Amino acid sequence: MSILTNAADVLRCFTPQRLELTLTDTVSLLGAPKSSTSRLLRAMRDAGFLELAPGTRRYRPGILLFELGQTYRRASTLLARADEAVGRLSRRFGHTGYVSVLDGADVVGVAHHEGSSTLRVGTPIGRRLAAFASSTGRSLLARRTDAEVRALHPEPLRPASPHSPPDIAALIAMLAEVRRQGFATSLEEANPGVGGIAVAVGEAGTGEEVSLNLVYPVATVSITERQAMLNALQAEALEIATLVGDPWHAARKAA
């Protein structure tokens, strides 16, 4: 219960839908006393975590946090490689690509490359998505044991779409398939009309894991194009995997 956790709680109130916070917003979101919250917000501002949107009394993240966000991205060579690879894939196929990481039971995109095709699909990065309900997420979950997956997901699942696994058993079955195939797919789950394919890669030494992911409009992409994307995605992932010594891919190759 250090003030740090309170500060973090405040920061977690910011979402892509709620870019700025007023004192009363924060109070009602957190249920904390007004006076404490007022002081907390001011302290956070003094420290540089927040800034006041000029001319208003609304707080928003400070530039310090922006800079650190950049640092986060650069801190990992695995991420950098994945970013590179997805950029190549995105340019080659004209579809949007993401790099995502698992955080608890969510995936959050940490990099994205917008497709060039007229039909662009996808969601901005920094957005959180239930891991079990997306190809990216499942490609990462497949690297956990079933027990870990169960621990992460309190029943009942709240599937966002009819194409998502309706319960844990279905999820576990899907993950088994992902492990067998080496990639994960989705069809109109997070976004209607959008399909996704994803391959996860992990670093041997660090245990760090990211997922490479391409999304495309199902209506205009042929089976053969999809297959080409899948092949390219797997190739890129495999290259990174061998480079960083991913034991998971190594095991697959041996089998």
Q: Which residues bind DNA (CB under 7 A)?
A: 1-4, 6, 22-25, 32-36, 38-43, 57-58
* Type of residue at 75: A
Residue 177 interacts with a second copy (CB under 8 A): yes or no: no
Q: Which is nearer to DNA, 26 or 211 (CB)?
A: 26
Among residues 80, 78, 79, 98, which one has the least CA distance to residue 233?
98
124 binds, among DNA, a second copy, none (CB under 5 to 8 A by kind): a second copy
Mind giving me the DSSP string for the chain?
--HHHHHHHHHHH--SS---B-HHHHHHHH---HHHHHHHHHHHHHHTSEEEPTTSS-EEE-HHHHHHHHHHHHT-HHHHHHHHHHHHHHHHH-SEEEEEEEETTEEEEEEEE---SSS-----TT-EEEGGGSHHHHHHHTTS-HHHHHHHSPSSP--SSTTS-SSHHHHHHHHHHHHHHS-EEEESSSSTTEEEEEEEEE-TTT--EEEEEEEEEGGG--HHHHHHHHHHHHHHHHHHHHHHT-HHHHHHHH-
Residue 118 interacts with a second copy (CB under 8 A): yes or no: no
Q: Which is nearer to DNA, 38 or 181 (CB)?
A: 38
32 binds, among a second copy, DNA, none (CB under 5 to 8 A by kind): DNA
Q: Which is nearer to DNA, 37 or 213 (CB)?
A: 37
Residue 154 interacts with a second copy (CB under 8 A): yes or no: no
Q: Which is nearer to a second copy, 53 or 230 (CB)?
A: 53
Residue 5 interacts with a second copy (CB under 8 A): yes or no: yes
Residue selected from 27, 44, 142, 157 as contacting a second copy according to rule CB under 8 A? 44
Residue 208 interacts with a second copy (CB under 8 A): yes or no: yes
Nearest distance from residue 133's CB to a second copy, in Å? 19
Q: Which is nearer to DNA, 51 or 177 (CB)?
A: 51
Nearest distance from residue 176's CB to a second copy, in Å? 25
Residue 207 interacts with a second copy (CB under 8 A): yes or no: yes
Residue 245 interacts with a second copy (CB under 8 A): yes or no: no
